[in-house]
Structure 1
Protein backbone atom coordinates (compact mmCIF):
# COMPACT_ATOMS: atom_id res chain seq x y z
CA UNK A 1 0.00 0.00 0.00
CA UNK A 2 2.81 2.38 0.92
CA UNK A 3 4.49 1.58 -2.40
CA UNK A 4 1.38 2.59 -4.38
CA UNK A 5 1.03 5.76 -2.32
CA UNK A 6 4.61 6.74 -3.11
CA UNK A 7 4.05 6.18 -6.83
CA UNK A 8 0.89 8.32 -6.81
CA UNK A 9 2.69 11.17 -5.04
CA UNK A 10 5.56 10.93 -7.53
CA UNK A 11 3.19 11.10 -10.50
CA UNK A 12 1.35 14.10 -9.04
CA UNK A 13 4.59 15.98 -8.48
CA UNK A 14 5.77 15.16 -12.00
CA UNK A 15 2.46 16.34 -13.47
CA UNK A 16 2.64 19.60 -11.57
CA UNK A 17 6.21 20.23 -12.70
CA UNK A 18 5.33 19.44 -16.32
CA UNK A 19 2.41 21.86 -16.16
CA UNK A 20 4.53 24.74 -14.81
CA UNK A 21 6.39 25.60 -17.99
CA UNK A 22 7.85 29.09 -18.09
CA UNK A 23 6.50 31.36 -20.84
CA UNK A 24 9.94 32.85 -21.50
CA UNK A 25 11.53 29.44 -21.98
CA UNK A 26 8.68 28.29 -24.21
CA UNK A 27 9.04 31.35 -26.45
CA UNK A 28 12.81 30.92 -26.61
CA UNK A 29 12.48 27.28 -27.63
CA UNK A 30 9.75 27.75 -30.24
CA UNK A 31 10.22 31.15 -31.89
CA UNK A 32 13.30 32.60 -33.64
CA UNK A 33 15.00 35.51 -31.87
CA UNK A 34 15.23 38.64 -34.03
CA UNK A 35 16.41 41.43 -31.71
CA UNK A 36 17.58 42.26 -28.18
CA UNK A 37 17.69 45.56 -26.31
CA UNK A 38 19.21 46.24 -22.89
CA UNK A 39 20.76 43.75 -20.50
CA UNK A 40 20.21 42.04 -17.19
CA UNK A 41 16.99 43.01 -15.44
CA UNK A 42 16.32 45.75 -17.99
CA UNK A 43 15.95 43.75 -21.19
CA UNK A 44 13.59 43.30 -24.12
CA UNK A 45 13.88 40.28 -26.41
CA UNK A 46 11.88 40.07 -29.63
CA UNK A 47 10.91 36.86 -31.37
CA UNK A 48 8.80 36.13 -34.43
CA UNK A 49 5.93 33.65 -34.49
CA UNK A 50 5.92 32.75 -38.16
CA UNK A 51 2.58 32.00 -39.77
CA UNK A 52 0.60 32.75 -36.58
CA UNK A 53 -1.70 35.68 -35.90
CA UNK A 54 -1.78 37.58 -32.61
CA UNK A 55 -4.69 35.74 -30.88
CA UNK A 56 -3.30 32.33 -31.84
CA UNK A 57 0.15 33.22 -30.52
CA UNK A 58 -1.23 34.64 -27.27
CA UNK A 59 -3.36 31.56 -26.62
CA UNK A 60 -0.46 29.28 -27.41
CA UNK A 61 1.82 30.97 -24.87
CA UNK A 62 -0.93 31.26 -22.23
CA UNK A 63 -1.67 27.55 -22.57
CA UNK A 64 1.93 26.76 -21.62
CA UNK A 65 2.17 29.26 -18.76
CA UNK A 66 -1.01 30.87 -17.44
CA UNK A 67 -0.52 34.64 -17.07
CA UNK A 68 -1.80 36.82 -14.25
CA UNK A 69 -3.74 38.72 -16.86
CA UNK A 70 -4.29 38.53 -20.61
CA UNK A 71 -5.66 41.49 -22.53
CA UNK A 72 -8.80 41.43 -24.63
CA UNK A 73 -8.47 39.45 -27.85
CA UNK A 74 -7.27 41.60 -30.73
CA UNK A 75 -5.94 40.93 -34.20
CA UNK A 76 -3.40 43.74 -33.86
CA UNK A 77 -1.91 43.65 -30.34
CA UNK A 78 -2.27 41.75 -27.07
CA UNK A 79 -0.46 41.63 -23.72
CA UNK A 80 0.25 38.77 -21.33
CA UNK A 81 1.27 39.84 -17.81
CA UNK A 82 3.40 37.71 -15.49
CA UNK A 83 5.00 38.43 -12.15
CA UNK A 84 8.45 38.97 -13.68
CA UNK A 85 7.71 39.99 -17.28
CA UNK A 86 5.23 41.47 -19.72
CA UNK A 87 4.79 39.87 -23.13
CA UNK A 88 3.75 42.21 -25.93
CA UNK A 89 2.39 40.43 -29.02
CA UNK A 90 1.94 42.53 -32.14
CA UNK A 91 1.08 41.87 -35.76
CA UNK A 92 4.23 42.15 -37.86
CA UNK A 93 3.72 45.30 -39.98
CA UNK A 94 5.91 43.79 -42.71
CA UNK A 95 4.14 40.43 -42.82
CA UNK A 96 0.55 40.17 -41.61
CA UNK A 97 0.76 36.40 -41.34
CA UNK A 98 3.45 36.67 -38.61
CA UNK A 99 3.41 38.01 -35.07
CA UNK A 100 6.19 39.76 -33.15
CA UNK A 101 6.59 38.52 -29.57
CA UNK A 102 8.39 40.99 -27.31
CA UNK A 103 9.35 39.70 -23.87
CA UNK A 104 9.98 42.67 -21.56
CA UNK A 105 11.30 42.47 -18.04
CA UNK A 106 9.20 44.42 -15.54
CA UNK A 107 11.94 47.04 -15.25
CA UNK A 108 12.14 47.48 -19.02
CA UNK A 109 8.37 47.85 -19.35
CA UNK A 110 8.32 50.31 -16.46
CA UNK A 111 10.93 52.54 -18.13
CA UNK A 112 9.56 52.43 -21.67
CA UNK A 113 5.76 52.20 -21.77
CA UNK A 114 3.43 55.09 -21.08
CA UNK A 115 0.83 54.40 -18.36
CA UNK A 116 -2.12 55.60 -20.45
CA UNK A 117 -1.17 53.22 -23.25
CA UNK A 118 -0.78 50.14 -21.05
CA UNK A 119 -4.00 50.88 -19.19
CA UNK A 120 -5.78 50.30 -22.47
CA UNK A 121 -4.74 46.64 -22.20
CA UNK A 122 -3.91 45.94 -18.54
CA UNK A 123 -5.89 46.85 -15.41
CA UNK A 124 -4.52 49.75 -13.39
CA UNK A 125 -4.52 47.65 -10.21
CA UNK A 126 -2.16 45.09 -11.70
CA UNK A 127 0.08 47.78 -13.19
CA UNK A 128 0.32 49.44 -9.80
CA UNK A 129 1.31 46.17 -8.14
CA UNK A 130 4.04 45.65 -10.75
CA UNK A 131 5.41 49.18 -11.13
CA UNK A 132 4.35 50.97 -7.96
CA UNK A 133 1.90 53.84 -7.58
CA UNK A 134 4.44 56.55 -8.41
CA UNK A 135 4.88 55.17 -11.93
CA UNK A 136 1.54 56.61 -13.09
CA UNK A 137 2.73 60.16 -12.52
CA UNK A 138 6.32 59.73 -13.66
CA UNK A 139 5.77 59.10 -17.36
CA UNK A 140 6.73 61.73 -19.89
CA UNK A 141 5.53 62.28 -23.44
CA UNK A 142 6.95 59.04 -24.79
CA UNK A 143 4.54 56.62 -26.44
CA UNK A 144 6.44 53.37 -26.77
CA UNK A 145 4.17 50.65 -28.16
CA UNK A 146 6.71 47.93 -28.81
CA UNK A 147 9.58 46.95 -31.07
CA UNK A 148 9.41 48.45 -34.55
CA UNK A 149 10.90 46.28 -37.31
CA UNK A 150 12.68 47.90 -40.26
CA UNK A 151 10.61 48.36 -43.43
CA UNK A 152 11.08 45.91 -46.26
CA UNK A 153 11.76 47.06 -49.79
CA UNK A 154 11.12 45.31 -53.07
CA UNK A 155 13.81 45.95 -55.66
CA UNK A 156 12.37 47.38 -58.87
CA UNK A 157 13.20 45.32 -61.97
CA UNK A 158 15.81 46.90 -64.17
CA UNK A 159 15.10 47.75 -67.78
CA UNK A 160 16.99 45.46 -70.19
CA UNK A 161 19.72 47.30 -72.14
CA UNK A 162 18.79 48.43 -75.60
CA UNK A 163 20.54 46.86 -78.57
CA UNK A 164 23.02 48.96 -80.53
CA UNK A 165 22.48 50.03 -84.11
CA UNK A 166 24.68 47.15 -85.26
CA UNK A 167 22.25 44.73 -83.61
CA UNK A 168 24.61 43.72 -80.79
CA UNK A 169 23.77 43.76 -77.10
CA UNK A 170 25.96 45.96 -74.88
CA UNK A 171 28.09 44.01 -72.42
CA UNK A 172 26.85 43.66 -68.86
CA UNK A 173 28.56 43.68 -65.52
CA UNK A 174 28.81 40.57 -63.37
CA UNK A 175 26.07 41.52 -60.90
CA UNK A 176 23.63 43.85 -62.62
CA UNK A 177 22.23 44.49 -66.06
CA UNK A 178 23.31 47.60 -67.92
CA UNK A 179 26.05 48.91 -70.16
CA UNK A 180 29.46 50.03 -69.00
CA UNK A 181 29.82 53.80 -68.73
CA UNK A 182 32.10 55.57 -71.20
CA UNK A 183 33.89 54.16 -74.23
CA UNK A 184 36.83 54.98 -76.44
CA UNK A 185 34.55 56.55 -79.01
CA UNK A 186 33.45 59.16 -76.50
CA UNK A 187 36.95 60.16 -75.46
CA UNK A 188 36.67 58.43 -72.09
CA UNK A 189 38.54 55.33 -71.01
CA UNK A 190 39.42 52.01 -72.63
CA UNK A 191 40.11 48.57 -71.26
CA UNK A 192 43.42 46.79 -71.76
CA UNK A 193 43.57 43.05 -72.54
CA UNK A 194 44.54 42.41 -68.90
CA UNK A 195 41.29 43.98 -67.74
CA UNK A 196 42.75 47.27 -66.35
CA UNK A 197 41.39 50.64 -67.38
CA UNK A 198 43.62 52.91 -69.46
CA UNK A 199 43.29 56.70 -69.71
CA UNK A 200 43.40 58.55 -73.03
CA UNK A 201 46.98 59.62 -72.35
CA UNK A 202 48.07 55.98 -72.19
CA UNK A 203 48.51 55.83 -68.42
CA UNK A 204 46.80 53.29 -66.23
CA UNK A 205 45.19 54.53 -63.00
CA UNK A 206 45.98 52.72 -59.80
CA UNK A 207 43.49 51.84 -57.14
CA UNK A 208 44.01 51.28 -53.44
CA UNK A 209 43.13 47.73 -52.54
CA UNK A 210 40.39 47.72 -49.91
CA UNK A 211 41.29 46.16 -46.61
CA UNK A 212 39.36 43.12 -45.60
CA UNK A 213 37.86 42.74 -42.19
CA UNK A 214 35.04 41.09 -40.35
CA UNK A 215 32.10 42.59 -38.55
CA UNK A 216 30.10 40.91 -35.83
CA UNK A 217 26.81 39.66 -37.26
CA UNK A 218 23.67 41.01 -35.67
CA UNK A 219 21.14 38.76 -33.94
CA UNK A 220 18.55 37.36 -36.31
CA UNK A 221 17.74 38.63 -39.78
CA UNK A 222 16.07 41.88 -38.76
CA UNK A 223 17.31 45.07 -37.18
CA UNK A 224 14.52 47.27 -35.96
CA UNK A 225 14.14 50.02 -33.40
CA UNK A 226 13.30 50.19 -29.72
CA UNK A 227 13.36 54.00 -29.78
CA UNK A 228 10.61 55.75 -27.89
CA UNK A 229 8.15 57.66 -30.03
CA UNK A 230 7.86 61.36 -29.36
Structure 2
Protein backbone atom coordinates (compact mmCIF):
# COMPACT_ATOMS: atom_id res chain seq x y z
CA UNK A 1 0.00 0.00 0.00
CA UNK A 2 2.81 2.40 0.87
CA UNK A 3 4.46 1.82 -2.52
CA UNK A 4 1.24 2.77 -4.31
CA UNK A 5 0.98 6.06 -2.45
CA UNK A 6 4.60 6.91 -3.21
CA UNK A 7 4.17 5.92 -6.87
CA UNK A 8 1.00 8.01 -7.14
CA UNK A 9 2.79 11.01 -5.62
CA UNK A 10 5.76 10.63 -7.98
CA UNK A 11 3.43 10.42 -11.00
CA UNK A 12 1.46 13.44 -9.83
CA UNK A 13 4.60 15.55 -9.35
CA UNK A 14 5.97 14.42 -12.73
CA UNK A 15 2.74 15.32 -14.50
CA UNK A 16 2.68 18.75 -12.85
CA UNK A 17 6.26 19.36 -13.97
CA UNK A 18 5.41 18.45 -17.55
CA UNK A 19 2.43 20.79 -17.55
CA UNK A 20 4.53 23.68 -16.27
CA UNK A 21 7.20 23.03 -18.90
CA UNK A 22 4.66 22.80 -21.71
CA UNK A 23 3.00 26.08 -20.80
CA UNK A 24 6.16 28.18 -20.80
CA UNK A 25 5.89 29.51 -24.35
CA UNK A 26 2.12 29.95 -24.18
CA UNK A 27 2.30 32.10 -21.02
CA UNK A 28 3.78 35.02 -22.95
CA UNK A 29 1.52 34.33 -25.92
CA UNK A 30 -1.57 34.32 -23.69
CA UNK A 31 -0.48 37.56 -22.06
CA UNK A 32 0.07 39.32 -25.40
CA UNK A 33 -3.27 38.06 -26.77
CA UNK A 34 -5.14 39.32 -23.71
CA UNK A 35 -3.27 42.62 -23.28
CA UNK A 36 -2.80 44.02 -26.80
CA UNK A 37 -5.04 44.62 -29.83
CA UNK A 38 -4.90 42.01 -32.57
CA UNK A 39 -3.92 43.57 -35.91
CA UNK A 40 -3.23 40.85 -38.48
CA UNK A 41 -1.89 37.38 -39.19
CA UNK A 42 0.66 36.84 -41.93
CA UNK A 43 0.70 33.34 -43.43
CA UNK A 44 3.30 31.96 -45.79
CA UNK A 45 1.92 30.45 -48.95
CA UNK A 46 4.91 28.08 -49.05
CA UNK A 47 4.71 26.31 -45.71
CA UNK A 48 1.69 27.71 -43.82
CA UNK A 49 3.95 29.20 -41.13
CA UNK A 50 2.31 32.18 -39.44
CA UNK A 51 3.18 35.27 -37.50
CA UNK A 52 0.52 37.10 -35.47
CA UNK A 53 0.66 40.88 -35.18
CA UNK A 54 -0.58 42.91 -32.19
CA UNK A 55 -0.48 46.61 -31.34
CA UNK A 56 0.62 48.20 -28.07
CA UNK A 57 -0.87 51.70 -28.08
CA UNK A 58 0.91 54.46 -26.17
CA UNK A 59 3.88 52.19 -25.41
CA UNK A 60 7.30 52.31 -26.99
CA UNK A 61 9.30 49.20 -27.81
CA UNK A 62 11.47 49.25 -24.70
CA UNK A 63 8.43 49.72 -22.44
CA UNK A 64 6.71 46.71 -24.01
CA UNK A 65 9.88 44.61 -23.80
CA UNK A 66 10.33 45.44 -20.10
CA UNK A 67 6.70 44.57 -19.40
CA UNK A 68 6.95 41.22 -21.20
CA UNK A 69 10.21 40.36 -19.45
CA UNK A 70 8.42 40.92 -16.12
CA UNK A 71 5.64 38.56 -17.20
CA UNK A 72 8.04 35.81 -18.29
CA UNK A 73 11.81 35.83 -18.46
CA UNK A 74 12.90 35.06 -22.06
CA UNK A 75 15.58 32.54 -22.97
CA UNK A 76 17.32 35.27 -24.98
CA UNK A 77 16.91 39.04 -25.10
CA UNK A 78 18.06 40.91 -28.15
CA UNK A 79 19.59 44.34 -27.78
CA UNK A 80 17.32 47.30 -28.63
CA UNK A 81 18.44 48.54 -32.08
CA UNK A 82 16.82 51.10 -34.38
CA UNK A 83 13.33 50.83 -32.89
CA UNK A 84 13.39 47.01 -32.72
CA UNK A 85 13.88 44.38 -30.05
CA UNK A 86 13.44 40.60 -29.95
CA UNK A 87 12.66 38.28 -27.05
CA UNK A 88 13.03 34.54 -27.58
CA UNK A 89 11.02 32.03 -25.56
CA UNK A 90 11.69 28.36 -26.27
CA UNK A 91 10.18 28.07 -29.79
CA UNK A 92 8.44 31.49 -29.75
CA UNK A 93 9.89 34.79 -31.01
CA UNK A 94 8.38 38.05 -29.77
CA UNK A 95 9.50 40.67 -32.27
CA UNK A 96 8.74 44.27 -31.34
CA UNK A 97 9.08 47.13 -33.79
CA UNK A 98 8.26 50.79 -33.59
CA UNK A 99 5.09 51.55 -35.55
CA UNK A 100 6.31 53.59 -38.55
CA UNK A 101 3.07 55.61 -38.43
CA UNK A 102 3.29 56.44 -34.71
CA UNK A 103 6.50 56.30 -32.66
CA UNK A 104 4.47 55.94 -29.46
CA UNK A 105 3.05 52.59 -30.58
CA UNK A 106 4.69 49.19 -30.85
CA UNK A 107 3.90 46.42 -33.28
CA UNK A 108 4.36 43.01 -31.63
CA UNK A 109 4.77 39.87 -33.69
CA UNK A 110 4.47 36.36 -32.30
CA UNK A 111 6.41 34.07 -34.62
CA UNK A 112 7.56 30.51 -34.24
CA UNK A 113 11.05 29.34 -35.16
CA UNK A 114 9.88 27.98 -38.51
CA UNK A 115 8.54 31.35 -39.64
CA UNK A 116 11.66 33.24 -38.53
CA UNK A 117 14.08 30.69 -40.01
CA UNK A 118 12.32 30.37 -43.36
CA UNK A 119 11.06 33.88 -44.00
CA UNK A 120 12.70 36.64 -41.98
CA UNK A 121 15.46 38.68 -43.56
CA UNK A 122 18.55 37.66 -41.54
CA UNK A 123 19.74 41.29 -41.64
CA UNK A 124 16.72 42.26 -39.54
CA UNK A 125 18.49 40.85 -36.47
CA UNK A 126 21.83 42.59 -37.15
CA UNK A 127 23.18 44.43 -34.12
CA UNK A 128 20.88 42.70 -31.65
CA UNK A 129 23.68 40.32 -30.58
CA UNK A 130 21.55 37.36 -31.63
CA UNK A 131 23.45 36.27 -34.74
CA UNK A 132 25.53 33.54 -33.08
CA UNK A 133 22.54 32.27 -31.12
CA UNK A 134 20.34 32.17 -34.25
CA UNK A 135 23.06 30.35 -36.19
CA UNK A 136 23.22 27.76 -33.41
CA UNK A 137 19.41 27.49 -33.34
CA UNK A 138 18.87 27.28 -37.11
CA UNK A 139 22.17 25.70 -38.16
CA UNK A 140 25.20 27.12 -39.89
CA UNK A 141 24.45 29.08 -43.02
CA UNK A 142 20.78 29.71 -42.15
CA UNK A 143 21.18 33.22 -43.46
CA UNK A 144 22.61 32.22 -46.83
CA UNK A 145 20.32 32.25 -49.86
CA UNK A 146 20.51 28.46 -50.17
CA UNK A 147 19.24 27.82 -46.63
CA UNK A 148 16.76 30.62 -46.20
CA UNK A 149 13.44 30.64 -48.06
CA UNK A 150 13.88 34.32 -48.80
CA UNK A 151 16.96 33.60 -50.89
CA UNK A 152 17.47 33.75 -54.63
CA UNK A 153 15.17 30.79 -55.35
CA UNK A 154 12.29 32.97 -54.14
CA UNK A 155 13.39 36.23 -55.77
CA UNK A 156 14.84 37.63 -52.54
CA UNK A 157 11.38 37.96 -51.02
CA UNK A 158 12.56 38.39 -47.44
CA UNK A 159 10.08 39.38 -44.79
CA UNK A 160 11.38 42.42 -42.93
CA UNK A 161 8.82 42.64 -40.15
CA UNK A 162 5.28 43.96 -40.20
CA UNK A 163 6.26 47.53 -39.47
CA UNK A 164 8.74 47.61 -42.35
CA UNK A 165 6.19 47.09 -45.09
CA UNK A 166 2.79 46.42 -43.62
CA UNK A 167 3.42 42.69 -43.69
CA UNK A 168 4.45 42.41 -47.30
CA UNK A 169 7.60 40.94 -48.70
CA UNK A 170 10.42 43.27 -49.67
CA UNK A 171 10.06 44.92 -53.03
CA UNK A 172 6.27 44.85 -53.16
CA UNK A 173 3.44 46.91 -51.77
CA UNK A 174 0.48 45.66 -49.81
CA UNK A 175 0.37 41.91 -49.37
CA UNK A 176 3.26 40.37 -51.25
CA UNK A 177 3.48 37.14 -53.17
CA UNK A 178 4.80 35.23 -50.17
CA UNK A 179 2.31 36.28 -47.51
CA UNK A 180 -1.39 36.86 -47.18
CA UNK A 181 -3.28 38.56 -44.39
CA UNK A 182 -6.45 37.81 -42.52
CA UNK A 183 -7.46 36.89 -39.04
CA UNK A 184 -7.83 33.62 -37.19
CA UNK A 185 -10.46 31.50 -38.88
CA UNK A 186 -10.48 33.56 -42.07
CA UNK A 187 -10.40 30.56 -44.36
CA UNK A 188 -6.74 29.58 -44.38
State the TM-score bracket (shorter-chain normalisation).
Answer: 0.5 to 0.7
Alignment-derived partner of residue 203 in structure 1: none
Tell me the secondary structure at the aligned position of residue 63 of structure 2: helix
Alignment-derived partner of residue 145 in structure 1: 160
**Residues 119 and 83 of structure 1, relative CA distance in 2, 3 Å threshold:** farther
Question: 1:86-111 CA deviation, whole Å, 9 max, x = no partner?
Answer: 11111111122111101111111112
Question: 1:15-55 CA deviation, whole Å, 9 max, x = no partner?
Answer: xx6xx672111101100101011289711000001111110
Alignment-derived partner of residue 79 in structure 1: 86
Say what the alpha-carbon RMSD is for the aligned residues. Answer: 3.0
Aligned-partner Cα distance in 2 for 1:98–1:35:
15
Contact 2:96–2:108 (8 Å) recurs in 1:
yes
Alignment-derived partner of residue 132 in structure 1: 139
Alignment-derived partner of residue 44 in structure 1: 51
Alignment-derived partner of residue 32 in structure 1: 37
Q: Choose between structure 1 and 2: higher strand proportion.
A: 2
Q: Choose between structure 1 and 2: higher helix proportion.
A: 2
Structure exhibiting the larger radius of gyration computed from Cα positions: 1
1:33-182 matches, cutoff 5 A: 33-38=38-43, 42-74=49-81, 76-138=83-145, 139=148, 140=151, 141-148=156-163
TM-score with structure 1 setting the length: 0.54
5+ unaligned residues in a row in structure 1: which ranges? Answer: 1-9, 150-223
